[in-house]
């Protein structure tokens, strides 16, 4: 479904991604893990067209998308839920969700998608007329994911969905991610909580200073002593 080949991204003189290559197959949850500054978010922003790569190739559903504008990538079936949620705080929950459907025309299909989102996130239905900026962090994350789903994506990209959430809400968000995947949406996940990410993912890639240093089945990555020492310390496991 998604294939990245030898991706190089620069921020000025900083070589942020250095020959990154990976793939995501239809139906999978694939996670990118690594320390802050490793290049995880830059990778996602490159895939969704927000950041332009210096070189390399990004192919989505058989089509090269390097030079495709971000809004057209959304129309192709790829939706990006950004780090920090980035909801519209002065719009209602409903208005935020409807912003996610801006590329779609069929009102009946939009209504059906909205019903699915409300069924998945009952609290959003209860707060549909509330200003999104007044919601709790967990509820705002639900708005962000719901908004992403409103474009009816085949691939959902999630950047740090558990950031700033309590352990109980982290569990809830990851349960939602698994259900979304089980209902037919492929997921590419960047997550600082490596333990939780590896629990839900099929496969994983470990990024370090702009390069992929490990890759494989999530269970194998989780068992690798080098990964455990660097990313799955006792504090992470206790927090999970």
State the average pLDDT for the chain: 91
**Alpha-carbon gap, residue 4 to 23, rounded angstroms:** 6
Work out the average pLDDT over 117-137: 92
Domain assignment present for residue 41? The answer is no
Domain assignment present for residue 135? The answer is yes
Domain assignment present for residue 230? The answer is no
Q: Which domain does 142 fall in, by range?
A: 86-152
Length of the chain (residues): 240
- Beta strand 29-33 with 14-24: parallel, antiparallel or unpaired? unpaired
Domain assignment present for residue 116? The answer is yes
- Asked if pLDDT for residue 82 goes beyond 80, the answer is yes
- Asked if pLDDT for residue 210 goes beyond 50, the answer is yes
Amino acid 24: pLDDT: 97
Amino acid 3: pLDDT: 97
Domain assignment present for residue 142? The answer is yes
Of 59, 3, 7, the C-alpha closest to 28 is 3
Confidence of residue 236 (pLDDT cuts 50, 70, 90): very low
Domain assignment present for residue 109? The answer is yes
Amino acid 231: pLDDT: 80
Number of domains in the chain: 1
**CB burial of residue 205 (10 Å; 0-12, 13-18, 19+):** buried
Domain assignment present for residue 60? The answer is no
């Amino acid at each position: 479904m998604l294939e990245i080949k030898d991706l190089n991204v620069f921020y000025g003189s900083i070589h942020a991604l250095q020959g990154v290559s990976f793939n995501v197959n239809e139906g999978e949850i694939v996670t990118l893990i690594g320390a802050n500054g490793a290049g995880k978010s830059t990778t996602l922003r490159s895939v969704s067209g927000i950041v332009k790569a210096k070189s390399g190739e990004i192919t989505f559903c058989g089509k090269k998308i390097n030079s495709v504008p971000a809004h057209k990538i959304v129309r192709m079936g790829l939706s990006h839920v950004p780090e920090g949620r980035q909801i519209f705080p002065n719009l209602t929950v409903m208005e935020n969700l409807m912003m996610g459907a801006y590329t779609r025309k069929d009102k009946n299909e939009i209504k059906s998608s909205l019903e699915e989102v409300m069924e998945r996130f009952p609290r959003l239905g209860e707060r549909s007329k509330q200003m999104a900026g007044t919601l709790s962090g967990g509820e705002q994350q639900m708005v962000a994911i719901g908004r992403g789903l409103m474009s009816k994506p085949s691939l959902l990209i999630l950047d740090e969905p558990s950031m700033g959430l309590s352990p109980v809400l982290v569990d809830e968000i990851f349960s939602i991610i698994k259900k979304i995947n089980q209902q037919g949406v492929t997921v590419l996940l960047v997550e600082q909580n490596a333990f939780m990410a590896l629990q839900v993912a099929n496969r994983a890639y470990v990024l370090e200073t702009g390069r992929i240093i490990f890759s494989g089945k999530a269970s194998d990555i989780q068992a690798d002593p080098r990964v455990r020492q660097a990313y799955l310390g006792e504090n992470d496991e206790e927090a999970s």
